A = this chain, B = another copy of it.
Amino acid sequence: MSTTVPLTAPEGTRAALIAAAMRLFGQQGFAATSTRAIATLAGTNVASISYHFGGKDGLRQACADEFSRQIRSAMATPPAHILSADAAHSQLHAAVRRMAEFMLGSPAAGDMVPFLIRELGENGPGLTAIYTELMEPTHRRFCALWASITGQAPESDAVKLSVFSTIGQIFYFRMAGPLVARRMGWAHIGAAEIDAISIQIQSNLDALLVAAERP
């Protein structure tokens, strides 16, 4: 059913294995994916997995590392100096919108978002690297923007939980996508549907910000 997007241009067996594993882990989950299937998709043999990564677990970790690496290079971290409330508001909106479109519009994200979702659902070992290198900085930056808007303390529990609430909506709509589509009467989740969800999340964000400004 998924459009058979070709794997990333193979620059060596090692990279091909990571690309193949990321796709299959994301589609079927870690336990359900055999090393043989990975090797076949990568155009190589099973033994190369042990050679390059020490085993299936090592390949999983390598996928998580590659995930963090690609996302970090894709998301240039802006300076995020002290901002006016209005500027922070625009930045936060843009960031949330970008994340929503990235998470929901998988074609752009390739095989990485399904992999992340699986790893999150399975509480995989790769999450530690992804957390420290990607999630924690992102969340911290969102909190800083949030605080610039509402005047709250950036690292207060209230701000942290509010940011999690917003990010959580994005993740939920991604994970429960099929169920949401069914309830909404959507045949599938295309550009229009992603737009509707994204707008809803941004509207929710504003509602939360307004409430936080007037406590």
Contacts and interface: CB of A to CB of B under 8 A. Distances in A.
Nearest to A118: B121
Given A31-B32, A165-B204, A168-B172, A182 B131 contact: yes
A32 B121 CA distance: 13
Interface residues of A, number: 49
Interface in A198-214: 200-201, 203-204, 206-208, 210-212
B200 A165 contact: yes
Copies of this chain, complex-wide, total 2
A157 interface: yes
Contacts of A180: 164
Majority-rule SS of A interface residues:
helix
Interface of A: 28-32, 117-118, 120-123, 127, 131, 135-136, 139, 157-158, 160-162, 164-165, 167-169, 171-173, 175-176, 178-180, 182-184, 196-197, 200-201, 203-204, 206-208, 210-212
